[in-house]
Structures are given as C-alpha cells and as structure tokens.
Amino acid sequence: MKSIKIGLLGLGNVGYGTFSVLKRNQEEIKRRAGRGIEVVAVAVRDVARAEALVAGACKVVNDPHLIVNDPEIDIVVELIGGYDLSKTLVMQAIANGKHVVTANKALLAVHGNEIFAAAQDKGVMVAFEAAVAGGIPIIKALREGLTANRIEWIAGIINGTTNFILSEMRDKGLDFATVLKQAQELGYAEADPTFDIEGVDAAHKATIMSAIAFGIPVQFDKAYVEGISNLNAVDIRYAEQLGYRIKLLGITKRATVNGVEGIELRVHPTLIPAKRLIANVEGAMNAVLVHGDAVGASLYSGRGAGAEPTASSVIADLVDITRLATADPEHRVPHLAFQPNAMTDIAILPMSEITTSYYLRMHVADQPGVLADLTRILAERSISIDAMLQKEPAEGETHTDIIMLTHQTQEKNVTAAIEKMEALNSVVGTVTKIRLENLS
C-alpha cells in the first residue's frame, strides 16, 4: 500500500526530531500503522540548512503555502509556532481537505474553537497530542482512556522550564534570577523566557485540557496566569519545613459557587504535600494528575519537551490518522498493536540468559578469609561488585550477614557463583538472591 505523505512546516528542534524518528523507526511504525509514513516536503526559512539536514530525502521549500496547497500531501504537520502565519496555514490546509497535526498550544488555546469547527465541517482531523506535556500521551488519556469518568479536576506540571528552575532553587537554595541564568546557559530556558516563567505556556496547555475534560470551548482569555518570577527562595524553604513542595501547576476543576456550577482554570505556584508522587517529579519532567469519579487519581509523567519526546507525540497522531485512513474500522488499532501480518518471532529468552544486577545476602562465619573466598568466586565469573554491606555479628553470635550488590551480569553466572558460595564451609544455609534494576 502507498505510504501516507507528510509535509512538515518547520524543521527546527521538533521538526527535525519528527523527521529523524520517522526515518529511524520507519519499519516499526509501518508494522503498527499498516502503511508507511513518509515526509515528502518541508518548508523552512533557511533552505540550505534544511537541505543539509534532510540530505535529499525530501523536497525542501521556502514557501509554506507550497506545502498546504500540495495535492500530493495527505497530512500537514505544523511546527512553526505562533498565532498568525501558523493559523493561516492550518486553516488553508483544512480548507484543502488535509489532516493537520500540530504541537502549537498557543494557537489552539487561542484559536482552537475556530480551527476545530473548520476541521469538523471539512471532515478532517486536527490532532495535537504534542501540544500538551510533550511526549506524554495525556490528550489520548483524557479523550479516550478516561471516557467513563466525570472528570473532577486536573493538576499538572506542564512546563519543564519552570519545573527545572523550581527544582534547582529548592535543591541548591538559590534564588530565581541565579537559576534562570543557569537554565538559559543549559538550554532549559529560552533567551526570552517570558512565556515559560510567567506561566503563559502552562496556561495554554491547561486551557486545552480544561476544554477536553469538561466539554467546554477553549477559553484562554479566562485563565488566571501567575508565573514564578516573583517567587522567593525563602518561601520554598518554609514550605519544605512544613512538609510541602512548591510547583507551578496548571489546575482546572469543577466548582460550585452559590449553587451554580463553574470551572476553575488557573496557573500559579502551588504548595503541594511533599509525599505526593507528583511532588517528586523533578527537573524538566512533566506530570499530569487527573481525578475522575470512577478511576480516582491517575498520574501521567515523562518528558514534556525536547525534540524526540515531542516528535513521539506528533508521530502518534500521524499513526492514528494513518490507521483511520487505512484499516477497516473494526481493526483501526490492531489487537496486539502491530498489524497481524507484521508480527515477529523474536524468542523469549530463558531466565539463565537474562542480564540484570543482583542483591546477594550470605550468612557467614565471622572469620578471616571469608570475604576473600566470596569475592574470588564472583571475580572468576567476571561478576563485579557495586556495593557491599557487612554487619557486625550480634552480641554473642559467631556469624553475620554480608550483602553484596553486583553490576550487571547474566543470570547463569550468578547461579553458578551461588552454587560455589553455598559449598563453602564458612557460608551457612542458602544465599539469598534478589534481582536489581536501575530503571534508568
């Protein structure tokens, strides 16, 4: 089957991420989507730079209208940002009957109602998973995963720049201006950081989530927006002493005031109990906590920005559209994610062949040479030790516990080493083995 043809508007950070991931994972994506997804053209300001990046893989044009008017192109991916040119291009793409994928939260928070109405009339999709919380599939969770629920509230860390700054302020006891400067040097904050630090970006995203959660139009102009630029380091310390962390949250919730139902929509620094999982989402990570009446609270966290995390969401939207345009309705999403004729037969490994780290506990005689014997047995099987804990024997005891954490090795090596260890006279009973994963 002929591949789906994509036109990219913009080949910056996210645009090039999208181009790269589509290329690198093209087989994997095709096995899932049922047909190939191919970038056929990109529109950029700097044609020479883009031509070097795409290396002949697709057309490069300067005029973005050439993309939205190109009859060959099925889906337009808008990654140029802003409200004006992007709106003109998106509306033109819709008018031309093309599906649109966009990461542009500002555009949707401000002009979303008009854009979605046009798409509805024209029978095309405007998909925007990448517009909120980067790589986290939160739009899908809200629109499809939690449809059983009356959503009660959403609270999200939905701006990585401010979360990075707040984490650093707390961690290192620094003030806002110092950390902002560092963040700019590290590339976590833009040269003009206003949209991030004043909460505007978070409010765009909260506005979109509010509409989806409660079935209301997008209303960015009604959002309360307060950033972190006036936040004092001393308040972060006092909050901590009281058991709280300060996060910039985007919050939207149902509220009843004087018997009338309303919606709260607000972005501001917020104290939250330090023991909540979301309070421990640090650095540039994002997280969204959703409370539904049936499911209770559920949390979605991951990278909220960056080239490939954002590309992950852009491409998920491309696959969604491709599946709709390709499959029988009943098999839009294959049961096991990959098309039935595109399964592989990679074997499940026997346990002896798996690789991980290990916690080993030995109960041993408190006598010279024991540790030497144990470490020799490990060394002979090329198992190296990452950490060790040796307890003093209890009062009147002649034996004690030794705990070792190993670096990664194959299970069969550890099994063989344990057999040798248990054969030592100095080792009492069996060696306790628990596997260890760093999950990094």
**DSSP string across 94-108:** HHTT-EEEE--HHHH
In the complex, the smallest distance separating the C-beta of residue 296 from a copy of itself, rounded to whole angstroms, is 5
Q: Write down the least CB distance from residue 45 to a copy of itself, Å.
A: 25
Which residues have C-beta within 8 Å of that of residue 428, sequence separation ≥ 6? Answer: 363, 364, 365, 399
Q: H or E segment at 15?
A: helix 13-24
User: Which regions of 192-331 does DSSP assign to beta strands (E)?
Assistant: 224-225, 244-257, 260-273, 285-292, 296-303
Distance CA 237, CA 231 (A): 11
**Residue 412 known to be catalytic:** no
Nearer to a copy of itself, 65 or 254 (CB): 254
d(CA 162, CA 85): 28
Residue whose CB is less far from a copy of itself, 9 or 267: 267
Q: Residue 313 Cβ, how far from a copy of itself at the closest point, in Å?
A: 8
Minimum distance from CB of 242 to a copy of itself (Å)? 6
Nearer to a copy of itself, 85 or 325 (CB): 325
Q: Which residue number, 1 or 337, has a Cβ lying nearer to a copy of itself? A: 337
From the CB of 110, what's the least distance to a copy of itself, in Å?
Answer: 15
Least spacing, CB of residue 191 vs a copy of itself, in Å: 25
Amino acid identity at 242: L
Sheet holding 59-61, edge to edge: 59-61, 37-43, 4-9, 75-78, 99-102, 126-127
Phi, psi of 127 (to 5 degrees): -105, 145
In angstroms, the CA 225 to CA 203 distance is 6
Q: Give the Cβ contact number of residue 357 at 10 Å.
A: 16
Q: Which amino acid is at 298?
A: S
105 labelled as ligand-binding? yes
Helix ranges (H only) for 148-268 are 160-172, 176-186, 194-197, 200-214, 233-241
Dihedrals phi, psi of 268, to nearest 5 degrees: -165, 160
Of 76, 44, 74, 84, nearest to 61 (Cα)?
44
| Closest to 132 (Cα-Cα) out of 324, 302, 264 | 302
The amino acid at residue 405 is: L
Q: Which of 169, 189, 180, 142 is nearest to 232 (CA)?
A: 169
Pairwise CA distance, residues 384 & 406, whole Å: 6
Kindly state the smallest distance separating residue 269's Cβ from a copy of itself, in Å: 5
d(CA 89, CA 107): 11
Residue 153 structure tokens: 């509230």
How far apart, in whole angstroms, are the C-alpha atoms of residue 31 and residue 422?
A: 49
Rounded least distance, CB 310 to a copy of itself, Å? 9
CA atoms within 13 A on the CB side of 270: 16
According to DSSP, the residues that pair with 405 across neighbouring strands are 359, 387
Q: Cβ closer to a copy of itself: 268 or 399? A: 268
Catalytic residue, candidates 5, 30, 98, 205? 205
Residue 239 is encoded by which pair of tokens?
């909050």
**Residue (47 or 272) nearer to a copy of itself, CB:** 272
User: What is the set of active-site residues?
Assistant: 205
As annotated, the binding site for L-homoserine includes: 190
As annotated, the binding site includes: 105, 190
As annotated, the binding site for NADPH includes: 105
